[in-house]
Amino acid sequence: MISQPKRILISRTDSIGDVVLTLPLAGILKKKFPQTEIYFIGKNYTKAVINCSKNVNQFLSWDELDSKSEKDAISFLKSFHFSAIVHVFPNKKLAFLAKSAQIENRIGVNRRIFHWLTCNYRPSFSRKSSDLHEAQLNAKLLAPFGIEDNFSQKDLAKFYNFSPTVELSSELENLIEKDKLNIIIHPKSKGSAKEWGLDNFIKLVEILPKSKFKIFVSGTNDDALQIKNQSKLLNMEVTDLTGKMNLEQFIAFIQKTDALIAASTGPLHIASALGKHAVGLYSSIKPIHPGRWAPIGENAFYFEANEPTNERIGDRSILDIQPQKVADYLAHIN
């Protein structure tokens, strides 16, 4: 068992939502080892999210490390004198670099062949066949530290310690209406999730009474072009935020609102980590179903399609989640 580590590196070098669901590990480790420094290596575009965790001492850029020569990369990792590295997302190159950098304790799932060559702790579990949530599966990697709790999703949400790192500009804050419920709809997913469809978001906007709700639509510049070309959503009574904020500002804006509605995307998981009403829209198809990827948080909620017989039907069934059901849920939030 690993005891009293001085400095731990958590590795998750994939997308924003996956990173958010990994952040509870930093909180769990901080609780177990209050004096331990927690580092987190991820892609540059996830830096703003990782820096929101008060349990992470420092972000390291995988993009920068990946661009170095092997010799320089090994030297860079050695300079931190890490006691342990936790490979949450299997990254073959990083696994070999960590071994070459002589990080004493290297943790990775035993189902990756290269982890047998690079890791000296290999917890045994299968993500593909498990009924556990992604965040619960992540926590199983902490067994070598003597942490073998069966965390519930509610338990894990308590370890986020997540808050914005920047103040919202007065221009953006003035968009928030204090006497209404401020709702963000995030229609697109850049292909990372089954989408609910622009028509359903339009119906939802039409249903929600404007006297009670202020509605924002968010997304990237590319999302704005797709939305504009495919629907009338941006011409409705919504405030268009697409492409108008960087990620740090967007996180600060979400903090000021009441709810966010989206498919299984990064913004949905950010909203749940902030304690907002994060309303997810999901297919029932494994392994992309909410049992694996639902937002976890004090006010997280999801709607799930009901006909998971095969992928083609699943694609259609997520479109059948009724906008009225989503509107009814929003009508009862405080």
116-161 tens-digit pLDDT: 999 999 999 888 888 999 999 999 999 999 999 999 999 999 999 9
State yes or no: pLDDT of 317 exceeds 80: no
Mean pLDDT of 238-262: 97
Give the max Cα distance, the chain.
62
Q: What is the CA radius of gyration of the chain?
A: 21
Higher pLDDT, 154 or 313: 154
**56 and 147 share a domain?**
yes
96 and 177: one domain? Answer: no
What's the chain's average pLDDT? 94
| Mean of pLDDT values over 5-34 | 98
Q: What phi-psi label fits residue 4: left (phi over 0), alpha (psi between -120 and 50 degrees) or beta?
A: left
Query: How far apart (Å, rounded) are the C-alpha atoms in residues 278 and 300?
Result: 5
Could you tell me which residue, 193 or 176, shows the higher pLDDT?
A: 176
Instruction: Identify which has the larger pLDDT, 246 or 287.
Output: 246
**Domains held by the chain: number:** 2
Residues 190 and 143 in one domain: no
For helices 266-273 and 247-256, angle between their N-to-C axes, nearest 10 degrees: 50
Is residue 197 domain-resident?
Answer: yes
- Please classify residue 24 by burial: count the beta carbons closer than 10 Å to its beta carbon, then call 0-12 exposed, 13-18 middle and 19+ buried: buried
Query: Do 184 and 37 share a domain, yes or no?
Result: no
307: domain CATH number is: 3.40.50.2000
For residues 107 and 88, give the distance between their C-alpha atoms in angstroms, rounded to a whole number.
8
Instruction: Kindly state whether residues 151 and 194 are assigned to the same domain.
Output: no
d(CA 62, CA 185) in angstroms, rounded, equals 31
pLDDT score at 126: 84
Residues 152 and 177 in one domain: no
Q: Is the residue at 165 inside a domain?
A: no
Q: Which of 125, 157, 189 is the last residue of a domain?
A: 157
63-94 pLDDT tens trace: 999 999 999 999 999 999 999 999 999 999 99
In a domain, 215, yes or no: yes
Same domain, 141 and 47: yes
Identify the domain boundary among 136, 157, 178.
Answer: 157
Rounded mean pLDDT of 313-325?
Answer: 77
Rounded-to-integer distance, Cα 254 and Cα 22, Å: 20
Query: Beta-carbon neighbour count of residue 63 at 10 Å?
Result: 12
**How many other C-beta atoms lie within 10 A of the C-beta of residue 240?**
17
303 neighbors 283 (Cβ within 8 angstroms): no
Q: Are residues 181 and 291 in the same domain?
A: yes
In a domain, 90, yes or no: yes
Q: Which residue has the higher pLDDT, 14 or 284?
A: 14
* Three-state secondary structure string covering the chain: CCCCCCEEEEECCCCHHHHHCCCHHHHHHHHHCCCCEEEEEECHHHHHHHCCECCCCEEEEHHHHHHCCHHHHHHHHHCCCCCEEEECCCCHHHHHHHHHCCCCEEECCCCCHHHHHHCCECCCCCCCCCCCCHHHHHHHHHHHHCCCCCCCHHHHHCCCCECCCCCCCHHHHCCCCCCCEEEEEECCCCCCCCCCCHHHHHHHHHHCCCCCEEEEECCCHHHHHHHHHHCCHHHCCCEECCCCCCHHHHHHHHHHCCEEEECCCHHHHHHHHCCCEEEEEECCCCCCCHHHHCCCCCCEEEEECCCCCCHHHHHHHHHCCCHHHHHHHHHCCC
Residue 167 has pLDDT above 60, yes or no: yes
Whether pLDDT at 310 is above 80: no
pLDDT in tens, 177-204: 999 999 999 999 987 788 999 999 999 9
- The per-residue pLDDT for 320 is 87
Q: What is the mean pLDDT of residues 169-175?
A: 96
Return the C-alpha torsion angle 144, 149, 155, 158, nearest 10.
-40
- Is 260 among the domain residues? yes
Among 103, 135, 157, identify where a domain stops: 157
- pLDDT band, residue 307 (cuts 50/70/90): low
State the burial class of residue 256 (Cβ atoms within 10 Å of its Cβ: 0-12, 13-18, 19+).
middle
Residue numbers of the domain that contains 293: 170-331
Ramachandran region of residue 11, left (φ > 0), alpha (ψ -120 to 50) or beta? beta
Based on the fold, state whether residues 143 and 263 are members of the same structural domain.
Answer: no
Looking from the CA of 84 toward its CB, the CA atoms found within 13 Å total 28
- State residue 4's pLDDT score: 92
